[in-house]
Structure 1
Amino acid sequence: MCLVFVCDEEVRVLGTQQAPGNCPYCGGVVMATDVEAAWRLCCLPLCLKTKRKYSCTSCSRRLVTYP
């Protein structure tokens, strides 16, 4: 008996915009990117999540915000 799960994550960029503030490492401009991730199991949608990710345009580092 063979059991195979076919899972896939589809990531789509919804938009980008300039975030307030500067990069703490190099002082560059910070960009906010809205990303939508959809998990699928055999073409059936399981989960849909929207996240906002921050990154620096100069040094390309991913920045993390703390609440």
Structure 2
Amino acid sequence: MAAATMGAVRVLCGAEKERVVGAHKAPGACPRCGGAVVAVDVESERRVLGLPLCLKSKRKYSCTRCLRRLVTLCG
């Protein structure tokens, strides 16, 4: 019963779906292990009541050796 309720809440409030658009090698090395860095382009789509609300594109960086997610520092 609780799982069905959570599913209904996700549909009404707007669940977010992500899909990978592309991946490529990024410059630099992982500060933890020195492994290669990969950049993954991800599109996320938020829907409310089945209707698309917004589409966002993000670029996520991670290490290929230790699988650690890396964050860029701006400014």
Fold match by TM threshold 0.5: yes
Aligned residues: 64
* Structure 2 segments unaligned to the other structure (5+ residues): 1-8
Q: In structure 2, what is the equivalent of residue 21 of structure 1?
A: 28
More strand by share: 1
More helix by share: 2
* Structure 1 segments unaligned to the other structure (5+ residues): none
Letter aligned with residue 31 of structure 1: V
Match of 1:53 among 38, 60, 63: 60
- Aligned-residue CA RMSD in angstroms? 1.1
Question: What per-residue deviation string (whole Å, max 9, x for no partner) do you get for residues 2-28 of structure 1?
Answer: xx6252111010000000010000000
Q: TM-score, normalised by structure 1?
A: 0.89
Q: TM-score, normalised by structure 2?
A: 0.80
Shift of 1:44: 0.5
Q: In structure 2, what is the equivalent of residue 11 of structure 1?
A: 18
